[in-house]
Structure 1
């Protein structure tokens, strides 16, 4: 379970600011109310992490892809920004303190970053389903992390 994808030296502007925060809260609330759904044509879930510095829970809507065996794949694309999104760093610091709201359920999950051939296979699946992710990779020189979320027994 190693996390450690460094920031790149080039990339798109990462969404930020009050409007981005407001939109994330709006979408997270909508997904929770509806028991899941789609965002920009992709399956979406609400990812809740523990802030690595603050210790405060942070929730973010993200696209997900089936990972096989009841797991979920998410992508730390940050729209092709040079740096990883804040939630990536939160997961890296606390991979066993992650929760998702998906398909009308709330699940405690363990996060694991994929590497090598496993990441390459997942990346092909993700970019086939969501071609915009290939475009995000073209915008940055960092390797965009793929994270597998595995539900923990209750």
Structure 2
């Protein structure tokens, strides 16, 4: 499983690619939109930003997968938005907007998961690697 250090480095490299290309590279990966998610640290209260792929668009928002590469622990951003669901998102290099994070209910996950894994098999592989059920989160702009 990827370490926190590896995940941070991957995010840095991704950001550099976006900056160097003026955003021409990095806002879409493998047919998925990339969402820049800013959460409030549940312990620190500081703003934390990460880049995530969004394999599904629905209800005017973006669904992101709290997979952490199939690790047995949830990603820090998921813990943060669970504590404070008011977040900011930016997509396609646009200015960040306020959004609300909604963790999928079991029924929603049952509907959304096959849509995601049918098109992006890596998420199914992540689920096979872990005993935890990987959460799905809908990020919906509030503007």
Whether the TM-score (by the shorter chain) exceeds 0.5 is yes
What TM-score does the superposition give when structure 1 sets the normalisation length?
Answer: 0.81
Greater RCO, CA 8 A, separation 6+: 1
Instruction: Go from structure 1 to structure 2 and tell me whether the alpha carbon gap of 1:95 and 1:31 turns closer, same or farther (over 3 Å shift).
Output: farther
- Give secondary structure in 2 for the equivalent of 1:34: coil
What TM-score does the superposition give when structure 2 sets the normalisation length?
Answer: 0.86
Aligned length: 139
Please report the RMSD computed on the Cα atoms of aligned residues, expressed in angstroms. Answer: 1.9
Are 1:16 and 2:4 an aligned pair? yes
Q: Deviations over 1:33-55 (max 9, x none)?
A: 41762235532111111111111
Q: Which runs of 5+ in 2 are unaligned?
A: none
Contact in 2 for aligned 1:100/1:107 (Cα 8 Å): yes
Runs of 4+ in 1 over 6 A off after TM superposition: none
User: Displacement of 1:145 after TM fit?
Assistant: 0.2
Contact in 2 for aligned 1:42/1:130 (Cα 8 Å): no
- Give secondary structure in 2 for the equivalent of 1:79: helix
Instruction: Go from structure 1 to structure 2 and tell me whether the alpha carbon gap of 1:114 and 1:31 turns closer, same or farther (over 3 Å shift).
Output: farther
Q: Which runs of 5+ in 1 are unaligned?
A: 1-12
